[in-house]
């Protein structure tokens, strides 16, 4: 008799790998106190483990993607995941802080490589008309890693040990690598794009406008999210335990919002791209009003999570739509510039807080949303102008 059980979809392992790499990037925040105590370093030194990771991605991401574009997608993805796993395992047992820093740099170099190839691989599993939904499903792993990586590593370090947090990352990335090796079909050797042809997309004015919109939108997202625990604690008086619960609720809303955005992008990309930052601004304003009753705030966290996390797929589809001839390189540019946006947002959000109080982070987020919307509108105007110009020729 034929089995009625459906095999695991390869996209599950692609998403698992994205969850693993984002847990590596952001999960270290959850164990900063343990790192400070273990290595006898200052808070600012420990914080460099996050900053250096993002900086390496921003500086080297596009070049790593471009360099490895000549190789077959599947083995590069598998090797990247095993590099993540190996770096995490070594990080669990190193006794030197500076070696730990180096072990952050190595996976940071391959982070944009896996990220770029993951979405191209996910899209290849679906018909062309369902590529945005495929990206949305893969982005579930990204959003879960970004939102749940911190509470998971914090819990593991608190309940078990410092090493357990890193070993968790090792297990996740190893499982993803084995799953992709077994389940992902080996793609036929694709037409190799020359470096010149891939770099040619940099001449596109709409691409740079889209890069600006994506960078500003991520700056808006992380102007507020980077200080979410302080905001919930100082403004709304929540305990650490309640804050952890609310961040999990935020993550649940994020997964739902991501999947919904994938469907809406397939229907109308332009309208969805305009609506997403507006929804994010509304969630910021509701947060500013500071409703502390449980049920209204529970709903607000879901809305904020959905608006925040949907920014991932909206910006990725919006940016790469202008460079379909070189999707891997375009996605490498995307991951580089959104990490620049993360750094920019957290720094400017901190400036606003220093100048006012913790409420300042909301106004920092609103400012960046206005800049992102200006880029989106200018892109639409530019494209329409070029179309009218072409029609008159």
Q: Where are the domains of the chain?
A: 1-185, 193-392
CA-to-CA distance for 282 and 294, rounded, in angstroms? Answer: 19
Burial grade of 301 (CB within 10 A; 0-12, 13-18, 19 or more): buried
Q: Which of 39-53, 266-280, 328-342 has the highest mean pLDDT?
A: 266-280
For range 228-241, the mean pLDDT: 74
Residue 3 has pLDDT above 60, yes or no: no
CATH architecture classification, 193-392: Up-down Bundle (1.20)
Going from the C-alpha of 257 to that of each of 209, 248, 319, the distances in angstroms are 25, 14, 19
pLDDT at res. 8: 61
User: Does the domain at residues 1-185 carry the CATH identifier 2.60.40.10?
Assistant: no
pLDDT at res. 45: 78
pLDDT grade, residue 180 (50/70/90)? very high
Domains 1-185 and 193-392 in one fold: yes
CA-to-CA distance for 371 and 78, rounded, in angstroms? Answer: 38
Total Cβ atoms within 10 A of residue 39: 15
Compute the CA torsion angle 82, 254, 366, 237 (nearest 10 deg): -100
CA-to-CA distance for 137 and 305, rounded, in angstroms? Answer: 16
pTM: 0.77
DSSP state of 325: T
* Residues 135 and 262: beta-carbon distance below 8 Å: yes
Q: Please tell me the chain's helix, strand, coil percentages from 3-state DSSP, rounded to the nearest 5.
A: 85, 0, 15
* Residues 116 and 208: beta-carbon distance below 8 Å: no
Q: Which of 276-280, 323-327, 384-388 has the highest mean pLDDT?
A: 276-280
């Amino acid at each position: 008799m034929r089995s009625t059980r459906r095999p695991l979809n390869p996209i599950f392992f692609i998403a698992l790998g994205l969850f693993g790499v984002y847990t590596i990037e952001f999960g270290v925040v959850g164990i900063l106190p343990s790192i400070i105590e273990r290595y006898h370093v200052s808070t600012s030194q420990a914080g460099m483990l996050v900053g250096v990771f993002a900086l390496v991605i921003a500086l080297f991401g596009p070049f790593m993607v471009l360099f490895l574009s000549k190789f077959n997608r599947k083995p590069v993805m598998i090797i990247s995941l095993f590099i993540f796993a190996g770096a995490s395992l070594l990080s669990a047992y190193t006794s030197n802080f500076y070696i730990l820093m180096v072990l952050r740099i190595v996976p940071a170099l391959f982070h944009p490589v896996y990220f770029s190839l993951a979405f191209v691989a996910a899209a290849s599993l679906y018909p062309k008309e369902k590529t945005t939904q495929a990206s949305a499903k893969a982005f579930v792993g990204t959003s879960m890693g970004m939102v749940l990586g911190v509470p998971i590593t914090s819990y593991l370090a608190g309940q078990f040990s410092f090493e357990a947090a890193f070993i968790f990352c090792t297990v996740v990335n190893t499982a993803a690598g084995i799953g992709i090796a077994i389940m992902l079909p080996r793609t036929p050797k694709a037409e190799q794009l020359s470096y010149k042809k891939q770099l040619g997309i940099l001449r596109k004015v709409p691409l740079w406008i889209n890069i600006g919109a994506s960078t500003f939108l991520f700056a808006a997202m992380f102007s507020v999210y980077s200080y979410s625990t302080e905001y919930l604690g100082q403004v709304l008086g929540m305990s650490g335990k309640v804050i952890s619960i609310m961040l999990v609720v935020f993550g649940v809303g994020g997964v739902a919002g991501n999947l919904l955005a994938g469907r809406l992008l397939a229907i109308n990309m332009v309208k969805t791209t305009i609506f997403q930052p507006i929804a994010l601004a509304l969630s910021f304003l509701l947060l500013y009003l500071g409703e502390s009753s449980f049920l209204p705030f529970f709903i607000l966290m879901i809305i904020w999570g959905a608006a925040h996390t949907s920014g991932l797929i909206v910006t990725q589809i919006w940016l790469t739509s202008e460079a379909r001839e070189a999707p891997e390189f375009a996605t490498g540019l995307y991951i580089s510039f959104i990490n620049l946006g993360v750094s920019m947002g957290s720094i400017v959000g901190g400036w606003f807080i220093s100048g006012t109080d913790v409420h300042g982070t909301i106004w920092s987020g609103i400012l960046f949303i206005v800049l992102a919307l200006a880029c989106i509108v200018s892109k639409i105007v530019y494209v329409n102008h070029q179309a009218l110009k072409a029609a008159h020729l």
